[in-house]
Amino acid sequence: MKILHTADWHIGKRLHKHYLYEDFNLFIQWLCKLVIDEKIEVILVSGDVFDLANPSAEARKQYYQTLVTLKNLNCRLIITGGNHDSPSMLDAPKELLSALQMDVIGGLPKNMEDCIIPLPHNENPKVVIAALPYLRDADVRLANEGNTYEERLAAIRKGIQAKFDETAEICKNKYPKVPALAMGHLYAAGVSTSESERDIQIGNQAAFKAEQFNSYFSYVALGHIHQPQRINTQIPTFYSGSPLMLSFSERKDEKRVLLLDTKNGFEPKSIPIPSFRKLLKLKGNLAELKLKLTDLKVEENLATLVEIEMQEEHYSTQKLADLDELVSNFNQENVEIIKHRAHFKNQQLQSSEVFGAQQNLADLKPKEVFESLLKNEAFSEEEKQELLHTFDELKEMQHTSD
pTM of the model: 0.81
Question: What pLDDT, on the 0 to 100 scale, is given for residue 358?
Answer: 47
Q: Write down the pLDDT at residue 36.
A: 97
Written as one letter, the residue type at 186 is L
pLDDT in the model for residue 116: 97
- Residues whose CB is less than 8 angstroms from the CB of residue 103 and which lie 6 or more positions away in sequence, other chains included: 76, 77, 78, 79, 97, 117, 131
Neighbour order of strands in the sheet with 2-6: 102-105, 76-80, 42-46, 2-6, 256-261, 269-272
At 286 the three-state DSSP class reads: helix
Task: Write the single-letter amino acid at 143.
Answer: A
φ/ψ (deg, to 5) at 105: -125, 95
- Is the alpha carbon torsion for 14, 20, 24, 27 positive or negative? negative
- The pLDDT score that the predictor gives to residue 364 is 63
Alpha-carbon distance of 373 to 351, in angstroms, equals 7
Listed residue (184, 181, 194, 276) closest to 228, CA to CA:
194
Q: What is the dihedral of CA 199, 188, 146, 110, to 10 degrees?
A: 90
pLDDT at 347: 63
Assess contact for 358 and 328: CB atoms under 8 A: no
What is the structure's pLDDT at 266?
96
Q: Backbone dihedral region of 204: left (phi > 0), alpha (psi from -120 to 50 degrees) or beta?
A: left
What is the predicted pLDDT for the residue at 184?
A: 95
Tell me, what's the pLDDT at 202?
Answer: 45
Residues in the chain, pLDDT under 50: 201-205, 349-355, 357-358, 400-402
Helix, strand, coil % (nearest 5) of the chain? 35, 20, 40
Q: What is the pLDDT of residues 71-104, one digit of tens each?
A: 999 999 999 999 999 999 999 998 999 888 899 9
* pLDDT at residue 371 in the model: 80
> What is residue 302's predicted lDDT score, i.e. its pLDDT?
92
* The pLDDT value given to residue 393: 67
